[in-house]
Homo-oligomer: A and B are copies of this chain.
Amino acid sequence: MSQDLPTTSYALLGLLTFGDDLSGYELKQRADRTLRFYWVSPAMSQVYTELARLTELGLVHARDDTTAPTRSTRRYQITAAGRRDLQRWLASTAVEFPALKHPVALRLLMGHVVDPETSRSMLDGYLTMLAERRAELQTVRDSLVLDPESAVDRFRFPRMVADWGLDYYASERAMVEELIRRVDTDPP
């Protein structure tokens, strides 16, 4: 029916399938919490732009939450049409290969224009960042416990993806440690 939207639109639409009506602000928080490990988290402004578009297309429904005292917050929920569109997109066979911007690999590639210590300390710094990231994702993973309230366990797939991410951080760590050994060994 409709043309494909940018992938980020579907990412936000997908976050709304986990229940609760969210404001743009809350949706951004949910993206920062769970999505960012696999998808560059959209900027605040972009979240609102996407929500406006999805509302226009009837894929989400906006209602003004007037329960709040003076202030009105707009809350969004996915519509039946939105869910259908998401399913159609998920079933489409054309899945792109992951896009990566890896500043550490990029800088290491140019190692011949600096002294080895520069590359070495960059890799050390990356190991530290990796450990932090892994700890953050572990916290998210721990919060995704089996949900006995709902008939289908909504968190089954998020758990699988989080475990995948944790495995990735573990193997990335091992690979970087190996790289550090190779940098330390002077050119043979």
Give Cα A11–Cα B125 distance, bound, in whole angstroms. Answer: 20
Least Cβ distance of A89 to chain B in Å?
Answer: 8
Which residues of chain B have C-beta atoms less than 8 A from A125's C-beta? 93, 95
Decide if A100 touches B103 in the complex (CB within 8 Å). Answer: no
Give the total of A residues in contact with B, Cβ under 8 Å: 65
Contact A110-B175, Cβ < 8 Å, known A100-B39, A118-B90: no
Q: Is A156 an interface position by the 8 A CB rule?
A: yes
Binds B, one of A43-51, A54-62, A164-172: A164-172
* Minimum Cβ distance to chain B for residue A92 (Å): 9
Please report the C-alpha to C-alpha distance between residue A110 and residue B11 in the assembled complex, in whole angstroms: 9
Query: B110 to A91, Cβ gap below 8 A?
Result: no
List which A87-103 residues lie within 8 A (CB) of chain B: 87, 90-91, 93, 95-103
Interface of A is mostly: helix
Chain B residues lying within 8 Å of A35, measured Cβ to Cβ, are: 106, 109
**A135: CB under 8 A from chain B?**
no
Interface residues of A in 130-178 (CB under 8 A from B): 133, 152-154, 156-158, 160-161, 164-165, 167-168, 171-172, 175, 178
What are the residues of chain B within 8 A of A1 when measuring CB–CB?
none
Say whether A73 faces chain B, with CB atoms less than 8 Å apart: no
Residues of B contacting A91 in the complex (Cβ-Cβ under 8 angstroms): 114, 118
For this complex, 18 residue pairs linking A to B, each with C-beta atoms less than 8 Å apart, are: A7-B106, A14-B106, A17-B112, A35-B106, A38-B102, A39-B101, A86-B110, A91-B118, A95-B107, A98-B101, A99-B100, A108-B160, A108-B164, A152-B187, A156-B187, A160-B182, A164-B175, A164-B179
